[in-house]
Structure 1
Amino acid sequence: MMGNPLSNLKALMGRASKVMQEYQSSVEDIRRAIIDLRDTQRDVETAPVSVREIEANVDQVLGDAEKRARSVFIPSTFVSPRHPDRLRPEFDAPFRKDTLGALCILGFREPVRAALLAEAKKEAEGRKTYSADARAAELTRLQKELETLEAAEESLIREAEEAGLTVPRRADARPEILLAERV
């Protein structure tokens, strides 16, 4: 028995609407996962370096500062016959060039290093740190996961299109995913 054509159309539209909602819901689930994954990538990219790298960074800064200060440090000022008008300008030169480096020259490198390390470690405290290798590996893993999610999203959208439904693509969808023959 055939029902009322209007009722049949209404039922068909209801089923189509439900299918569309299911596709849209599935795509939105993937999109939320993509957003979460991008947030995770950003967290890994901006996470503090490992303690060993913190120490290397501090040592590099101190070494560079001392090198700059030594470029104008003239120890002969102290062993030459005194010329009061010359002593002060030459002695101040390392401090004017690089105060941190001048402190290193004067034997305060270790206390300065300890203070800088304490501050840097305090900044990193309670946060996950990554060595350069671990960061690169984690970012590679996350990128592969992101590509998988983006391909799944595009696959669902194409499936919906084949069923005659329109699911809008993200404005920031990567062209290589959109243009791939197979996803």
Structure 2
Amino acid sequence: MSDIDLRRIVEKSVAGGQTLMTTLEEVRKRIVLKRYSITKIQQAPASPNEALQRLNEWIETTTAGSAVENLAARFVAPGYRQPTSGVPTEIIAAAIAGPLRELIGGAISKSYGSAKGISAADRARELAKAEGELLEFECAEEAIIRHAEQCGIDVLRRIDADPRAVLCSGEFLK
């Protein structure tokens, strides 16, 4: 083999190693972006309908309590016990449930502005899809790392690499 042939082999090896590392960095970039998109989905506000439903459930739960009955029982009981100075929020909520619903409901509606909320079902569906894609990227990264190791190239794994990808069978990665 001549010096020219050896140079070509070395150049091809270097180019192959660079391609491998470039591909690895591209996959890692996609992992970062996918994690960011998962965070955005997780932090997206609930849909306006769900927010208002939560408000209604809270008001119903708060006003349905026995606080009003317990307070009334203090006055009816033969041994009068003066109510504490602090009025329980349940009693206030029961007294002004309608205006409270309008006040907080209006604030909820205003808080959305141009933003759109996401329903719990849509959030779960989008998270499942994004997390599945993330796992695919993690497995692709692990496949590249294992291939590099077989070629004698040491590649450090990310400290936050998904253990499911790192520990999976080599057959699964092919």
Q: So what's the TM-score if we normalise by structure 2?
A: 0.79
> Any unmatched runs of 5+ in structure 1?
81-85
Distance 1:163 1:97, change over 3 A: same
Alignment counterpart, residue 70 of structure 1, candidates 56, 68, 71: 68
1:103 Cα deviation from its structure 2 partner = 3.3
Give a deviation string over 1:12-53, Cα, whole Å, max 9, x none. 555444332221221111111111111111111121111221
Alignment counterpart, residue 57 of structure 2, candidates 55, 60, 83: 60
In 2, Cα distance between equivalents of 1:39 and 1:68: 45
Aligned to 1:97: 88
> Any unmatched runs of 5+ in structure 2?
none
- What does 1:146-161 correspond to in 2, within 5 Å? 146-161=134-149
* Partners of 1:55 and 1:117 within 8 A in 2: yes
Query: Which is further off, 14-23 or 52-61?
Result: 14-23
In 2, Cα distance between equivalents of 1:56 and 1:161: 54
Aligned to 2:3: 3
Alignment counterpart, residue 49 of structure 1, candidates 46, 49, 57: 46
Identical counterparts, % of pairs: 23
Amino acid at match of 2:100: V
Alignment counterpart, residue 29 of structure 2, candidates 27, 32, 36: 32
Amino acid at match of 2:120: A
In 1, Cα distance between equivalents of 2:66 and 2:32: 45
1:135 Cα deviation from its structure 2 partner = 0.9
Amino acid at match of 1:29: E
Amino acid at match of 1:40: S
- What does 1:158-169 correspond to in 2, within 5 Å? 158-169=146-157
In 1, Cα distance between equivalents of 2:152 and 2:35: 31
RMSD: 2.8
* Partners of 1:62 and 1:104 within 8 A in 2: yes
In 1, Cα distance between equivalents of 2:107 and 2:50: 14
Residue 129 of structure 1 aligns to a residue whose secondary structure is: coil
In 2, Cα distance between equivalents of 1:123 and 1:163: 55
1:137 Cα deviation from its structure 2 partner = 0.7
Q: So what's the TM-score if we normalise by structure 1?
A: 0.76
In 2, Cα distance between equivalents of 1:2 and 1:74: 103
